[in-house]
Amino acid sequence: MESLILKYKSLGIADVLHYEKFNLISISHHSTKIEGSTLTELETQILLDDGLTPKGKPVNDTLMVTDHFKALHFIIDKARNKTAVTTELIKEINSYVMKSTGGIYNTILGEVDASKGMFRKGNVTAGVSYFPNYDKVERLTNELVLSINSQMNTDLSIDEKLNLSFDAHFNLVSIHPFYDGNGRTSRLIMNYIQAFYDLPLAIVNSEDKQEYIQALIDTREKENIEIFRSFMKNQYEEYLKNEIKKFEDSFSSKSNKGFSFLF
């Protein structure tokens, strides 16, 4: 993995004009598609690059994508400024994710506005997964934050930095602290840690949604974090190899064929 990252960086892929923007668009596309967005990657690109709303697609899907893109820029800015991970930061990330689509939940303990990054006040399930009781959410999230910061204050290898980002992703989504947006928020925390260490940002490919969910389930049932780490490392390795290949093929094609006008 380390050699792949070094090759990715040595090629200067991230320095190509507009590369970061289109890479972030791709992250937003895949992360929201996992959660049900119907926008294609091209529609996502046109929406975020030109501000043009795709015809015939639900407004909610468009809002989900634009909110995620803003959240992604938010975490990158925080990471570049070396902002510490806190419970409030996690809540703020979720508020960006859910700003336009979060609803109001009325519970016996009071109202929860999902658009403001408020912790849930009720118990939730997703598929076959049951998540911790609502009264444990704040304590578990605080403990996760302490664990992340404790590790970030040590000298980590590249593999350890990646594992930290993958583990934070898994642990936050397994706490499920919010009524909605837990997956997107957890993937953004993963990206935050990667950006903090100036590593390429991981993308969970939406085409692998079933395998992604299964990896989360298997990791919880078997209490073996290596299952989720292995899934994420495969995603990360595939992404880096594809980016390197696209970059090298592009320059190889240009040098061999030259440029010709098409009329």
- In the three-class reduction of DSSP (H, G, I as helix; E, B as strand; rest coil), residue 230 is classed as helix
Tell whether 155 is in a known binding site: no
Q: If you ran DSSP here, which 8-state letter would residue 111 be given?
A: E
The pair of structure tokens assigned to 33 is: 């598609």
86 is in an annotated binding site: no
User: Does the annotation flag 139 for ligand binding?
Assistant: no
Query: What tokens were used for 203?
Result: 């993308």
User: Could you give the CA distance from residue 135 to residue 150 in angstroms, rounded to a whole number?
Assistant: 24
Check the annotation: does 83 bind a ligand: no
Amino acid letter for position 256: N
Is 141 annotated for ligand binding? no
Q: Does the annotation count 18 as an active-site position?
A: no
Distance in Å from the first CA to the final CA of the chain:
44
Pairing between β-strand 129-130 and β-strand 104-107 as defined by DSSP bridges: unpaired
Residue 184 annotated in ligand binding = yes
Task: Catalytic residue, from 30, 68, 169, 176: name it.
Answer: 176
Gyration radius (Cα) of the chain, Å: 19
Annotated binding-site residue? 107: no
Is 187 one of the annotated binding-site residues? yes
Query: 17-28 burial string, b = 16+ CB within 10 Å, else e?
Result: eeeeeebbbbbb
Q: In whole angstroms, how far apart are CA 119 and each of 70, 128, 137? A: 21, 22, 7
User: Could you give phi then psi for residue 201, rounded to 5 degrees?
Assistant: -85, 135
Catalytic annotation, residues: 176
Residue positions forming the annotated binding site? 180-187
Residue positions forming the annotated binding site for ATP? 180-187
